[in-house]
Amino acid sequence: MAKKAENTETSRRSSGRPRGTDSTREAILVAAREAFGTSGFEAVSLRKIARDAQVDPSTAVHFFGTKEGLFQAVIEDIVPATEPLVAAIRSGAAGEQIARIYLGVWEDPTYGPAIQALLRTAISSQQAIGLLRTALMGVLDSSGAKSGGPSPDDPGVALAMTHLLGVAFGRNVAQLPALTRMSIDELSAMVGPVLDGYFAMRPHA
């Protein structure tokens, strides 16, 4: 009887504890990308995301702390996809090459859906867009500091990234026919010279 009581108590103590596996964490991230992309940042709760991922809410709290922490993790998941782009910018690559890398990431089967979900989320929430901006500027800041490359404060970099974002939105989210019927190579050849002009700008003293 004592043994049974001990087992019952152990089960009670452990039932609410997160079972910390990579697959559980990934399931929460997948559910978060879907929920944020479909409903927006403000309308989604951590509890709903946990329910969609079929885990206890305490598990989501264990891994990410808060909804903001979970959104930050979703952003961090796409950071590896930005590394070739950042490397190309800081090495002074041609605008056409930079455009090809950037647009290619949007259509990458691993990162593309997450990036599109993040953009839809950011559009709907000032808080979400602030978190996204901070994270992406941090990537550029750290890489520029290490290499002496361009900073996100450079007007040319800001204009180039804004231009590319607009093209990617038009092609992949709004799906404008004039953009979707072109290949990435064709589109990059058109956009490249414009980017070269932006990157040639010098920041004001």
Q: What does the pLDDT look like over 83-107, one tens digit per residue?
A: 898 889 888 899 999 999 999 999 9
Task: Give a three-class secondary structure readout of 76-113.
Answer: HHHHHHHHHHHHHHHCCCCHHHHHHHHHHHHCCCCCHH
The fold of the 22-199 domain, in CATH, is Tetracycline Repressor; domain 2 (1.10.357)
pLDDT band at 119 (very low <50, low <70, confident <90, very high): confident
Q: Structure tokens of 57?
A: 């809410």
Q: Where do the structural domains in the chain lie, given as residue ranges?
A: 22-199
Position with higher pLDDT, 120 vs 177: 177
Region 123-139 average pLDDT: 77
Tens-place pLDDT, residues 14-30: 444 445 578 999 999 99
CA–CA dist 58, 60 (Å, integer): 5
Q: Tokens 């997160």 label which residue?
A: 18
pTM over 0.75: no
Q: Please, what is the average pLDDT of the chain?
A: 82
Burial of 114: CB neighbours in 10 Å, binned 0-12, 13-18, 19+: buried
Total residues belonging to the chain: 205
What confidence score (pLDDT) does residue 8 get?
A: 46
Position with higher pLDDT, 94 vs 37: 94
Whether 147 shows a pLDDT value over 70: the answer reads no
Region 30-41 average pLDDT: 86
